[in-house]
Structure 1
Amino acid sequence: MRLILPFILVWLPFLSQAQATNSSPIVKWKHDMATAAHDSIRLRVCTQIVRQYQIENQYDSLYRYVQRGLGFHKASPSDFYVCELYYYLGRYYRHKGLYRRGIGPLQQAISHADRAGSEAKSARYQYVLAVIFSDAGQLEKAVEQIGSNLKYLLTHQNEPMLAANYLLIIELYGNMGNTSLQAQYQQKYLSLVKDSWPPDHRMYAHIMKGQILEKKNRWQGAANEYRAGLRCAQRTGDSLKVIEMLHYLGVNGRHRRQYLSALSLFNNMEVMARRLHDLSFQATAKREQAITYLLMQQPKTALQKARQAANYSRQNKQEEELIITLQTLVTALEANGEFRNALIVSREAQQIKDRRFAEQSAQKVAQMQAEFDSETSEHTIRVLQKNAQIAQLQASRQQQQIQLAQRTQLAAAVVIGLLGLLCGVVIYFLRKTQRTNIQLNEHQQLLQQTADALAESNATKDKLFSLISHDLRSPVASMKNSIRQLRSSDTEFHLKPLMNRLDQQVDSVLDLLTNLLDWSMVQLKGFQLNFESLVLQELVAEVLSQTSELIQQKQLTVINQVDKHQLVVADRHQLMAVIRNVLTNAIKFTPTDGFIRLHTVAKSAMVELHIRDTGVGMTAEQISNLFKSPDVRSGTSGEKGVGLGLRICREMMDRQGGTLWVEQLPKSGTLVRIGIATPVQTAHNSVANDHVPSSAAF
């Protein structure tokens, strides 16, 4: 069954309308559209023109007016008419063979029809969309589209449309090889058939019933259905339908081995086809006769009929039909022992197949080129439309600008006079205001500078008082307590520990005061650094001398490997304070009999003084908080600290352009790296630890 059959079934009313139209009203409609007052009227008339162009098969003109109608739709939206425009645009693409391009417009047509509340139009458009899906080779999407359409049609009394959808889905499932679903929908279609249907519709129903019975090998029952279909075909008065039914009956009779009856039917078929000058059916009749004679073991007669069929097919120039006929001729030649001629005919059939394949390939390429050309042309049209809109907007804007200029000329003449009068007064007051503003800005800047200086001074004072009140109170209180105990002690045995503790507390207070004085010196705004070239070894030796008593008390081993020739550029007082503070920490947190090592490492523009110890070390968390809010910890011998030393050292080194970093050693202890600026590098600068013996490393 041909796919075009259900399509004709749906559009039969439109075809009859086309036959009833004797003269085209397009000229009058074009005049009405040109003289219409509103875009809504133009849209309605444009839709009528497009519909008439489709009836007259003038698809190029149809396409142009569809584009115009869609332009009217933008200015005056109307889903009722625009759904038809998109529908005819999809029909245009299908006519041009651009099936994939036709899918989008049909989907737009369905959407607008749904918004317009036209369910009948939506069902019809969904059916056509399924046909286009099928044409594009997207059979599954076509079945899905028909399925959604059937849900609507089963709830509405629209049997012709429902029958058309059933026929289409039967054809689709047949092409997909799904015979079970095809049979189900065949039964549904046949249940719709009524005696009140037109005879051609009932004829196709009988054909379908016959085909179903033949699949069940019920050939006699199928013959009865075909005879009923022949009677319906005769009632239509259409000779082509009668020929078609004779063909079905003849093939059925041959399967039932009623060869003479089949030959009679094929002869009648040939006579009617010759009367209509239909070469296709004449070739089909001769071919069926040849097949029948072969089954009757009459190869010579079969060969004669096959050659006649081949002549008709060659005249008809239908290559698909010619290939089938040539295959029958090859069989007849082989049955007569003419194998050479059979080979020649077989080669001819193969050449036609190859040529058809090449033509189909070329058609696909041409279709792709046509789609590309169509897209290009549509893009060009859209660009031209946009350019026209831009030009229209520019013209409108220019007109508005001219009107605005005319309106402002009068106002400008009046304003110019007033401005001339006011200019002198305004300039005078502006100059006076500028002078006043300059003076005010100068006073404000002076006041702001004074306020900033006072704020900074107050902040430094508050910070200093806070540190003194917080960190000095505890050791002084401890000293006061120790003195009270000394007064109350009456034995020399208790006196010595108290004196030792008092000595430690005095050292702690002295250390605190030293740190506070160093920090206050750093915070003073007017304090000036005194940079000078210093020998680092001399500074380290002086600090070691100052702390020798602490080193001896804890019996520590100090390894001094600082380069004797290493020069640095720094403030002597602050650098010594930094080294002293770091070395004091190393002594404090290194247990008895521990090691402290000092050595230098030369860098590109500075030298680093490394101070390593084998003390208790610090955790990663303590190091991260060291310069923010450090914990106050006691030394290995109970020495007290205030937690300010390294913070002050960091600030001192920052002011001198140096660095100070604290690292945790792999096993135990701490490494402090003090980066100090150096003068122009000399030949004496070298890495001191290159000469360190291996026994000194720890």
Structure 2
Amino acid sequence: MRLLLISLLLITGIATAQPAKTDSLIQKLRLATSDTTRIRLHNALATAYFGQDAMRGIKHATQALAMATKAKNHLGKAKALLLLSRGNLILGQYDRGLNRAFSALKIGTQLQDTTIMFGAQNMLGIMYFKLDDTTNAQLHYTTALELATKTTNKSWLGKTYNNLGNLYEIEGNYRKALRYFQKAVMLQAALGDVQSQAINLHNIGNIHLNLAEPAQGLPYLYQSIQLNRSIGNQMLLPTTLGSIANIYLATGDTLKALATAKQSYDASLATNSSKKISAAAQLLQQIYASMRQFEPAYQLMVIIAKHEARLDLESQQKAAAEITARYEAEGREEALQRLEAEKEKQGLMIAQQQLILVLGGVIIILLLISFLILYISRKKIRKTHTDLVEVNSKLLQQHVLISTQKDDLATQALLLQQQNEALEKHSTFKNKIFSIISHDLRAPLNSLKGILSLANSPSLTEERIKVIFGLLEKEMVTAANMLQNLLIWAKAQLEASTLALEELNIAKLAATVISETEAQASIKNIKIQLIINPDFSVTADKERLSFVLRNLVTNAIKFTQPDGEIRLEANLLDTAVAIHVIDAGEGIAAENVSNLFTEKRFSTLGTQQEKGTGLGLVFSYELLQSMNGKMKVDSQPGKGSTFTILLPKIQNAVNEISGEDKVKTLAL
């Protein structure tokens, strides 16, 4: 109870802190006469406000960026970009922050300003850490540590130790993380860096949740609140209170945990940060659910969903991947430019050596003339001959050396090109598979977790139970379909060199696919017609072609109204076999057709609100390409869609046959 009262007093103290520093800076800004001074003061105001009001801080950083850009003040621009990146971090806008940190790093590198370079590397590490990309986070933290060590800057070392401690905590190495936090707080206490010291005290207190005695973390957390109070920093308050509530939960004091979690939620509302509001609401919702108070828990789930939608972490991660790829591409371009410069330098050396060869030839000619002139003296002639042989030998050695160097350069250039192509291919596959597994699959699983926590309520009505199980079924179907598509696609990617091509009967393969989707079609009473000549065959990989057909039929069922009809047809072209999946469903808007088979995937709900991920068509398109096939789509909104598979025609293909005996109709 005593600690709870202390936390209330600390919160009150923070709320009533006097903004003397900001008032002084505003007064100086009004009196400033030069752009350089105004830019510096706007950046200083942004730094001061980020501890109290993130939106005001962003406003001043934006003004500093605009003025610095107009005045071509590169250093002021880089500082403003780093401050805006910090504001994006507070608001949970990690993709924007990543882009601005990269821009600041580029300017810092050009200026060779170690302060900007360290700040950008440190911020990039934090952004990647928040985006769950620990590999890139480790890379940038390590670079920041190298800069801090090289410059012997203790403040930078303290910040980097803190960030590395966060990484080790995520990896589960809690003792090592605690040592890094303790090293950081000692450095920051010696330097008088109160804000950074408060952050590390929070981290030390929070990590005790994973150690033997969680209650030992409480003094550190309350000391962190006290330090933040002394500098008027309110942004860390919701997180610190949340850690205190978690410790109370771990020690079995649920009532204190509930009271502190409510304080954390109230403090998060004052920050206007969706990231902090969502985190505080999740903690409070978990406590209510554990106390079987399901009504407030349900209301908090609505609030969480609202703020999670604002954060849209999945889109931020995709944008971050694009930003990272663009930055790496720029790096590769610079490397290629350096290689071209080196090749040009080697070319000049070769030209000089060729000039030496020419001069050597001239020398040989002069020696020959001397030989004729000195013909009378045999001794002189023999000496001249010996000299000519020696010079010629050296020239031949130089010529061999030049030829060897040219061959080495050509080999190195070819090897570099091959390695670059392999790295790009592996990086693309890694980023795609990690993005899909980490985020497309996690979204439906998180939804399942939230729905199952609601299902524990004994007071749920029958109507609400039906709604919950309906949502549960849809999320399960979505996760299962996505996982099946992902496994087949990943197998094809990893086993691209073992393509199992064979002659396949199209009608039999299509009948198998219809049988596999029969249960799904029967739910909506959809009839599927198989109108394919039983003699038609094609050379393809059975598993991959089955996947593509099954995906197209499943999509057709999804967007076809109940009691509707789907047709599977095929016909022979000059050099290919065309397989058509035709439905009379909702159709696809023209602006979306061009994005169906690209990384800009999207998904819409079916006629009965069926969910999807948009991965199926992208995977199908790639699998067809691996078999030298193609896919086309013809769609009109409100009238339906026709998806056409084109595969190379085998030798001696039979002519198309039509008739009642070639039509098989399945009424589902």
Normalised by the shorter chain, which TM-score bucket? 0.3 to 0.5
Higher RCO structure, 1 or 2 (CA under 8 Å, sep 6+): 2
Scaled by the length of structure 1, what TM-score is found? 0.37
* Largest Rg, 1 or 2: 1
